[in-house]
Amino acid sequence: MALVSTAQIIHLSEADPRISPDELIDGLVPPPQFEDVSFGSYRPDPAQPTQTQARDTLNDFVSSGGGSSRLLGRLFGGGRRSKAKGVYLDGGYGVGKTHLLASTWHASEKPATFGTFVEYTNLIGALGFVRARDELSQMRLVCIDEFELDDPGDTVMMSRLMRELTDAGVKIVATSNTLPGSLGQGRFAAQDFLREIQALSEQFTIVSIDGDDYRSRGLPEPPAPQTTEELDAVLAEATGTVARDRFDVAVEHLSTIHPSRYGRMLDQVDTIVWDEVRTIENEGVALRFVALVDRMYDRDVAVHASGVKLDDVFTDEMIAGGYRKKYLRCLSRLTALAHKARS
């Protein structure tokens, strides 16, 4: 007897979410996967002392109101008072930077905001620079995840925003895979914007975190692709909301939706099923896909897929290029979500 699915089946390729400017501001909070994290729930690798140092530095930073505490002095200045007005968390993917950033937000006095770099740039696009700055200037803390500068316009705009927010007394904590002085390298003529990049780096105390990707422990590669029959069986047994699409159609649809709205596309989605996954050949399409996977990971959405293995979704040239770290983080997150689906 065939199973009758109780799941609600939708298609991401038909989604067209809308978000008002006020919703953009109200939505700047940690995503569901990080809504209950804390410094206490962070599990540093005993073999990597910088992870413990980063946790303690951020804990001290937020509990002391963001001032240059004795701990910051010991770690980064031999007791001298730091002029930095924020903390910049630098490290590879999978070392817990977002966990620590969300923990900082939870421990901070409110109002405070938490969002990815693209969410802040979209806020500026939706509200205009002046209103966005004025709204963020009311915050005690602004947390920026996945800080990256992919074009000169973003460099100048974010440099100005950081300066004006810190001048207003706002504390800033940011995470990135790239040190401030190296932002933009391999993507645009960063040497033409050294003044803006240098001004940006001067806003932060840099805290580096070493370590391996925790998501890869015991999960070195994605599971094998599934057959169409296996995907049909997933739908038959699923509960909640399942988004099923042909992969190329879903990915092409992303070009019609601003990345800041990808999270809204995934509201209430528990599982994604992709038919006929293919290698993405266009870098613009690939970067939009990275942004989608980031929002999927935030929401802990399980992934089932047929076609090529998920670690073949990007070309070798992309993996070796200027966005290497973004693609590797994406593959790490995809692998974790695919194994979640099989568990």
Lowest mean pLDDT among 12-21, 78-87, 317-326: 78-87
State which of 211, 228, 247 marks the end of a domain: 211
Domain holding 79, by residue range, is 46-211
3-class DSSP state of 114: strand
* In contact, 112 and 140? CB cutoff 8 Å: yes
Is residue 33 one of the residues assigned to a domain?
A: no
- Amino acid letter for position 255: S
What is the enclosing helix (H) or strand (E) of 163?
helix 152-167
* In contact, 341 and 238? CB cutoff 8 Å: no
Question: Is 203 in the same domain as 225?
Answer: no
Task: Tell me which of 168 and 79 has the higher pLDDT.
Answer: 168
Token duo for residue 298: 């935030």
Question: Which pLDDT score is estimated for 77?
Answer: 37
Query: What's the whole-model pTM score?
Result: 0.75
Token duo for residue 158: 């974010």
Question: Is 299 in the same domain as 229?
Answer: yes
Q: How confident is the model at residue 82 (pLDDT cuts 50, 70, 90)?
A: very low
Question: Is 185 in the same domain as 322?
Answer: no
Lowest mean pLDDT among 76-80, 165-169, 204-208, 269-273: 76-80
Q: How many residues does the chain have?
A: 343
What pLDDT, in 10s, does the model give residues 96-140?
A: 899 999 999 999 999 999 998 878 888 888 889 999 999 999 999
Is residue 31 one of the residues assigned to a domain?
A: no
Is residue 238 one of the residues assigned to a domain?
A: yes
Cα angle 333, 337, 338; round to 5 = 115
Looking at the 3D structure of the chain, how many domains does it have?
2
What pLDDT, in 10s, does the model give residues 183-198?
A: 444 433 344 444 555 6
Task: Tell me which of 212 and 243 has the higher pLDDT.
Answer: 243
The rounded mean pLDDT for the chain is 82
What pLDDT, in 10s, does the model give residues 150-159?
A: 556 776 787 7
What pLDDT, in 10s, does the model give residues 16-71?
A: 998 887 888 898 999 888 999 999 999 998 999 999 999 999 999 988 765 433 33
Handedness of CA 114, 118, 121, 122 (dihedral sign): negative
* In contact, 133 and 102? CB cutoff 8 Å: no
Task: Tell me which of 18 and 286 has the higher pLDDT.
Answer: 286
